[in-house]
Structure 1
Amino acid sequence: MDDTIRIVQITDPYLLANIHYPEVLPIQVFENILTHINLLPHPPDLLILTSEVLQQRRNDTLRLLQRLDIPFYWVAHEQNASFNVKGTHFIMLNSCSKNHSQGYLGNDTLDFLQNDLENSWAYPCIVTLRHHPLAIRTLTPPKDTLKDAGQFLSILDQFYHIKAVLFGHIHHDFMLERNDIWFFASPAICPISPNNPAVVFQYRLLDLTSEGEVEVSLMKV
């Protein structure tokens, strides 16, 4: 595992309330998931939240995350950012928009993505955002793709060092390979299917090897 970078993706915790499961406290679920992550035999190198975090529980969220000895990043309501971890380049894009419920990047963010990819060509790259850039069949909303998904994908198609795109918002497990790039979404931490006795709380574990191979699994809590 020394030459492999391990990433945990958790998404859509909705920590303020859980209308479908009033007996479940979302903040307690979140705490249990973080405890589960902390006990993994091979600790992650970083944790990524591909979701918004409601302002009313932001301090609670921070308090729980800061207990971990793992760097964490939010992909929403934050400035676009990029950084390297263990020789892998990460690009974090803010796709939240007050005017577009399905998400919108806008010209400034797309320019940031283009420039950053041009400058990071020597490293394997993972791009993250909250909203889904591919059309996905789902039985529940949201069904609309990212407003400027076409522009986003056309930029990705210009580069060969992108290994994966991580996103949330759809509340379902999803994986698809497109033009040699893997697209991954993980289920929402707090599920949206009411009265389902089979429901479990899940997060995604992603390992990127030094050879550029991507291995993923869903962890159940």
Structure 2
Amino acid sequence: MRLIQITDCHLHADPEARSRVGFPLRQLQAVIEHARRQRPDILLVTGDVSEDETPLSYRHAVEAFSSLECPWFWLPGNHDLPQCMAEQREILDDIDLGDWRLLVLDTQVSGQPHGELGQAQLQTLAERLEEDDKPTLLAMHHPPVEVGSVWMDAIGLQDREALWQTLAAYGQVRAILFGHIHQAFASRHSLQEGEVAVYGCPSTTDQFLAGSPEFAIDEASRPGYRVIDLKGKTLTTWVERVNL
């Protein structure tokens, strides 16, 4: 099973709209074409699909994602309108990956850049993990750990400690995939039942400068995506960058 993660497309209704240093729709299309070579079984989009929150921006996204010709799933980021997304494509919270399971979490706090899961969603997560002990991936938009940038850590997942407390009893959770940070990231979080791998993903548009205390664009970096291979109980992952 090969899963491709893309994130933070920040599309506009205008297909020729610019970002800070590029053209979001053109860059997304280039990433999709590059990802096609990987022969993915599933595409996962981890939020901030739109920049201007317009129905047309989501239609551009649906057309691009569907061109990959594999099943695809998405979740909202802090820039998104979930209702507008759902009108285009259902937002699922439990995805069968064969030997693995993918649980999707909504970290959006309406009108705010930071994320939060909330006690009700954490309780539901625990109940879902009680149901099945097969290897599990979690997907969300906001990072559940600090990533080493003061400004970004301030707008990460605010109740991350509550998440880790919830996961402490469930050793089947092997990895968490997230977006939001516009850069590659890999870490591990130790729990009583074992380690959980934590992976961030480059944006399909502008990249943020890793380790910067203040907001900064990494103009030397390129758009990219993450490849996740699931074979038996083994997860292998890497990041691909795309020349424009």
Structure 1 length normalisation: TM-score?
0.87
Contact 1:135/1:144, CA 8 A, preserved across alignment: no
- Is 1:73 paired with 2:70? no
Change (3 A) 1:112 1:163: same
- Is 1:126 paired with 2:137? yes
1:149 equivalent in structure 2: 160
Can you list the C-alpha shifts for 1:159-201, whole angstroms capped at 9, x where unaligned? Answer: 1111110001111211111121100001122124578663211
2:79 equivalent in structure 1: none
Contact 1:103/1:147, CA 8 A, preserved across alignment: yes
Matched to 1:134, the amino acid is V
Change (3 A) 1:106 1:142: same
Alignment root-mean-square deviation, CA:
2.0
2:212 equivalent in structure 1: none
Can you list the C-alpha shifts for 1:89-127, whole angstroms capped at 9, x where unaligned? Answer: 110011111154211112221122111111121x11000
- Is 1:213 paired with 2:234? yes
Contact 1:142/1:170, CA 8 A, preserved across alignment: no
Shift of 1:214: 2.0
What is the CA–CA distance in structure 2 between the aligned matches of 1:196 and 1:50, rounded to whole Å? 21
Change (3 A) 1:103 1:139: closer
Contact 1:102/1:142, CA 8 A, preserved across alignment: no
What is the CA–CA distance in structure 1 between the aligned matches of 2:27 and 2:116, rounded to whole Å? 29
1:37 to 35, 38, 45: 35
Q: Structure 2: which 5+ runs fail to align? A: 77-81, 209-215
Matches within 5 A, 1:1-221: 5-16=1-12, 17-21=17-21, 24-40=22-38, 43-54=39-50, 55-56=53-54, 57-76=57-76, 77=82, 81-98=93-110, 100-121=112-133, 123-138=134-149, 141=152, 143-179=154-190, 180-192=195-207, 198-210=220-232, 212-221=233-242
Shift of 1:140: 5.4
What is the CA–CA distance in structure 1 between the aligned matches of 2:182 and 2:69, rounded to whole Å? 27
Q: Structure 1: which 5+ runs fail to align? A: none
Shift of 1:27: 0.5
What is the CA–CA distance in structure 2 between the aligned matches of 1:126 and 1:207, rounded to whole Å? 12
Change (3 A) 1:110 1:192: same
Matched to 1:52, the amino acid is D
Moved more, 161-170 or 145-154: 145-154
Contact 1:80/1:93, CA 8 A, preserved across alignment: no
Matched to 1:201, the amino acid is P
What is the CA–CA distance in structure 1 between the aligned matches of 2:219 and 2:142, rounded to whole Å? 28
Change (3 A) 1:110 1:99: farther
What is the CA–CA distance in structure 1 between the aligned matches of 2:152 and 2:117, rounded to whole Å? 20
Change (3 A) 1:31 1:81: same
Change (3 A) 1:100 1:107: farther
Matched to 1:45, the amino acid is D
Shift of 1:68: 2.0
Give secondary structure in 1 for the equivalent of 2:152: coil
Give secondary structure in 2 for the equivalent of 1:141: helix
Matched to 1:133, the amino acid is P
What is the CA–CA distance in structure 2 between the aligned matches of 1:196 and 1:117, rounded to whole Å? 38
